[in-house]
Chain A
Amino acid sequence: EDQVTQSPEALRLQEGESSSLNCSYTVSGLRGLFWYRQDPGKGPEFLFTLYSAGEEKEKERLKATLTKKESFLHITAPKPEDSATYLCAVQAQDNDMRFGAGTRLTVKP
C-alpha cells in the first residue's frame, strides 16, 4: 500500500539553527513529490516539486532533495517567519495524491 510518513511530527528551533525535515514514501511509480507550507487557518501553499531521484530545488532558506525512498526539506538559518506546518505529498502512477501528516515547525527568536 502506498504510504507517506513525515518526521518529526514537531520541531522547535532557535532562529539561525539549521535542520532538516524528512518525508519517506512507498508508492508504485512516483509521478511527483511535492512540498507545501501551511499556515494556521490557510490552505497549503506550494513550495517545490521533485520528479526524479537526485533532483534538488532551492528557494531562499529552503532546499528540497529527493532519493528513491525519501525526500528532505533542509532549512538553513531559519527565521521566525518560517514557522508553519510543512506538508509532503506524493503522486503515484494511479494519479492519487497522498499527503503525510506534516511537520509543525516553530522557530523561536
Chain B
Amino acid sequence: EAQVTQNPRYLITVTGKKLTVTCSQNMNHEYMSWYRQDPGLGLRQIYYSMNVEVTDKGDVPEGYKVSRKEKRNFPLILESPSPNQTSLYFCASSLAANQPQHFGDGTRLSIL
C-alpha cells in the first residue's frame, strides 16, 4: 500500500531535549516536505526536498533541521525544542514538485 509513515504519532517532551520525527515513503517520490499545522494558521511549510541531498527552506524553517540522505526518508530534527514548536506536524511526498502530495497521518508534538 502506498503510504507516508511518520513516527512517533504523539510526543510530549521538555524544552531543550533534542528530538527527531521520522518520515518514510514507499512510492519512490522525488519531492518530500514538512509542514506544521496550527489553529487559524493552516499548514505552513517548514522545509522541502526536491531530491536526495537537495533541501530548501519553506516559510517557517527557524528551529528545525532536515536531511535527505536517501530518497525514501526525510527526518525532521528539533535540536533544542521550545514551547512555540508545539504543533501538529505533517510529512508529505509527491512524484515531483508540482504534483499532488500524499500526506502522513501527522505527529502531535507537545513541548513543555
A49-B99 in contact (CB<8A)? yes
Q: Which residue of A lies closest to B35 (CB)?
A: A99
Question: A31 and B103 in contact (CB under 8 A), knowing A97-B33, A97-B58, A101-B41?
Answer: no
In the complex the two chains form, what is the Cα distance from A98 to B48 in whole Å? Answer: 12
Q: Which residues of A contact B45 (CB under 8 A)?
A: 96-99
A54 on the interface (CB 8 Å rule)? no
For chain A, the bracket of interface size reads 20 to 34
B75 on the interface (CB 8 Å rule)? no
Q: Mostly helix, strand, loop or mixed at chain A's interface?
A: strand
Number of contacting residues on B, CB 8 A? Answer: 26
B98 on the interface (CB 8 Å rule)? yes
Chain B's nearest CB lies how many Å from the CB of A47?
Answer: 9
Query: 27 A-B pairs, CB-CB below 8 angstroms?
Result: A31-B97, A32-B98, A34-B100, A34-B101, A36-B103, A42-B105, A43-B4, A43-B90, A43-B92, A43-B104, A43-B105, A44-B43, A44-B92, A45-B103, A46-B101, A46-B102, A49-B100, A87-B43, A95-B56, A95-B97, A96-B48, A97-B48, A98-B59, A99-B35, A99-B43, A99-B45, A101-B41
On A, residues with C-beta under 8 Å from B are 31-32, 34, 36, 41-46, 49, 51, 87, 89, 91, 95-102
